[in-house]
Amino acid sequence: METTATPRIRLEDIEKELLQEATKGKEIEEFRPGDTVRVYMRMIEGDKEKIHPFEGVVIAVKGAGIRRTITVRKVIHGYGVERIFPLYSPNLVKLQVLRRGKVRRAKLYYLRGKKGKAAKIKERK
């Protein structure tokens, strides 16, 4: 072992590697805010393990690298439900894009106040 001056270790490089490890063997389709996606989350109930899909519109993407999270919104029986997923969680098995939406902003929080037709997002071709 030596004490020679090691090249400076950068946090960015470490995070990049963590990200690579985290994405290994995972199917995450490319997506944008406004897209309708299905997220497959591994859930542990007692000693059983099941994969639970959640379907909805991506209304926000936050964070960079391994810290990235997405907020997915859907309306169930008239109630708006939002879930925040850490994109690179080991429990997130798969992310599928069902429909590509055409939107003009990065955060779609305005959808929260809209109902029915007003909450519709045009399809992106």
Partner 1 sequence: MVGLIGRKIGMSQLFRETGEVVPVTVIEAGPCPVIDIRTKEKHGYRAVVLGFGVKKSPNKPYAGIFQRIKKIRPDAPDIPPTQVLREIRDFNGDVKIGDFVDVSIFKPGMKVDVTGYTKGRGFAGVMKRYGFAGGPDSHGSKFHRRPGSIGTSKTPGRVLKGKRMPGRYGCDKQTVLGLEVVKVDKERNLLFVKGSVPGPRGGYLIIRSHKGGEGDGG
Q: Which residues bind partner 1 (CB under 8 A)?
A: 1-6, 9-11, 14-15, 18, 22, 42, 44, 66-67, 86, 88-91
Name the minimum Å distance from CB 69 to partner 1: 9
Query: Distances in Å between the alpha carbon of 26 and those of 3, 23, 88, 90, 119?
Result: 39, 5, 9, 9, 31
Nearest residue (CB) to partner 1, 32 versus 42: 42
In whole angstroms, the minimum distance from the beta carbon of 64 to partner 1 comes to: 11
List the alpha helices (DSSP H) in the chain. Answer: 11-23
- Cβ proximity to partner 1, 84 vs 98, nearer residue: 84
Pairing label, strands 79-86, 27-28: unpaired
The nearest distance, CB 61 to partner 1, in angstroms, is: 16
